Amino acid sequence: MLTVNAYAAPSATEPLGPTTIERRDVGPKDVLIEIRYAGVCHSDIHTVRGDWGQITYPQVVGHEIAGIVTEVGSEVTRHAVGDRVGVGCMVNSCRECENCLAGMENYCLAGNTQTYASVDRDGTITQGGYSTHVVVVEDFVLKIPDAIPLDKAAPLLCAGITTYSPLAHWNAGPGKKVAVVGLGGLGHLAVKIAHAMGAEVTVLSRTLSKKDDGLRFGADDYRATSDPDTFADLANTFDLIVNTVSAGIDLDAYLSLLRLDGTLVNVGAPAEPLPLSVFTLFGNRRSFAGSGIGSIAETQKMLDFCAEHSIAPETELIAAEAINEAYERVLKSDVRYRFVIDIATLA
């Protein structure tokens, strides 16, 4: 076992603090990664604060991990010492169910093994990327292209794939009108990716405070949802709406913006259920869907796509000791647009 430095939540109500955790010995198919950077996702906050259910404490979170391979198991073929690699939201799956066999392990019918707060194959609770090292089976380790700096790569492993996957699945591209709800950590990447795919992109945000940023990221239009005229002006407009916010929204109002056979996809995960009138779906044969991260193969495609199109998140690098302040700023939407922890400050 390897003892490593980490930052953990001792309970749902206490600040995160420094600690040590144990990583398993490197098995035949395992990769040991020296973590250089870890992104801060809103999901980290929801998890440690118990918003999505009870977890086991102490808990180390972080599922946007970028680093360097320092050891590989005897049977590893995909990665070598010195490789630039990443780990996203999952570290294993059953490998046997229909979805896994179809290459969609993110939808594993047995439930994939999450990077943190999940029961690992040895019965222990997985601990995430706010730590100096992690051991992951090689099949769930991604290759980070040289064109993407490691600190910029980290948020792509969750925020990037979470937005890329629905945009790719619902065929965002030339001739398609795409709306992105919210311009935060997820939303700003959704705009950049949808623009690179060739879609016409509109940002739907509560206010116009980030309009200049949205247009700079590639949006063709930016509208305030606090203005009732927005919903009247844009009725029956979009082929695809990607909702990135984790707060409640008026689903019926947003669904009314879809044109024939349009789809509203939720990637934000509010803690409370969202009400919906089924009659709204009847008009224009609209669909309401959800999308959860992406498969390993799709995540690698996303990384390669971002490298090819020079897409990177807007980030603010912080020391580990600033994580509690960063959490409060995330909750106040006071970050443009993703915090990344410099794990060297944990060494």
CATH number at residue 79: 3.90.180.10
- Claim to verify: residue 186 and residue 69 sit in the same structural domain: no
The verdict on residue 154 lying in a domain is no
The verdict on residue 307 lying in a domain is no
The span from the CA of 117 to the CA of 263, in Å, is 32
Residue 273: what pLDDT? 87
The span from the CA of 87 to the CA of 174, in Å, is 31
- Claim to verify: residue 141 and residue 173 sit in the same structural domain: no
First-last CA distance in the chain: 18
pLDDT in tens, 157-198: 999 999 999 999 999 999 999 999 999 999 999 999 999 999
The span from the CA of 281 to the CA of 255, in Å, is 7
Task: Give the C-alpha distances (Å, rounded to integers) separating 81 from 73, 75, 153, 188, 297.
Answer: 10, 13, 19, 33, 21
> Do residues 285 and 148 touch, judged by C-beta distance below 8 A?
no
- Claim to verify: residue 50 and residue 11 sit in the same structural domain: yes
> Do residues 181 and 204 touch, judged by C-beta distance below 8 A?
yes
The span from the CA of 24 to the CA of 298, in Å, is 28
Write out the H or E segment, with its range, that includes residue 92. Answer: strand 90-92
Contact residues for 239 (Cβ-Cβ < 8 A; gap 6+): 170, 172, 176, 177, 178, 258, 259, 261, 262, 263
The verdict on residue 8 lying in a domain is yes
Domain holding 28, by residue range, is 2-149+313-346
Indicate the burial class of 103 (C-beta count within 10 angstroms; 0-12, 13-18, 19 or more): exposed
Say which CATH number the domain at 285 has.
Answer: 3.40.50.720
DSSP-assigned letters across all residues of 18-78:
EEEEEEPPP-TTEEEEEEEEEE--HHHHHHHTTTTS---SSB-----EEEEEEEE-TT--S
Could you identify the residue written with the tokens 């969750």? 158
- Claim to verify: residue 203 and residue 234 sit in the same structural domain: yes
The verdict on residue 299 lying in a domain is no
The span from the CA of 87 to the CA of 103, in Å, is 17
- Please give the chain's pLDDT, 347 residues, in tens: 899 999 999 999 999 999 999 999 999 999 999 999 999 999 999 999 998 889 999 999 999 999 999 999 999 999 999 999 999 999 999 999 999 999 999 999 999 999 999 999 788 999 999 999 999 999 999 999 999 999 999 999 999 999 999 999 999 999 999 999 999 999 999 999 999 999 999 999 999 999 999 999 999 999 999 998 999 999 999 999 999 998 889 999 999 999 999 999 999 988 788 899 999 999 999 999 999 999 999 999 999 999 999 999 999 999 999 999 999 999 998 999 999 999 999 98
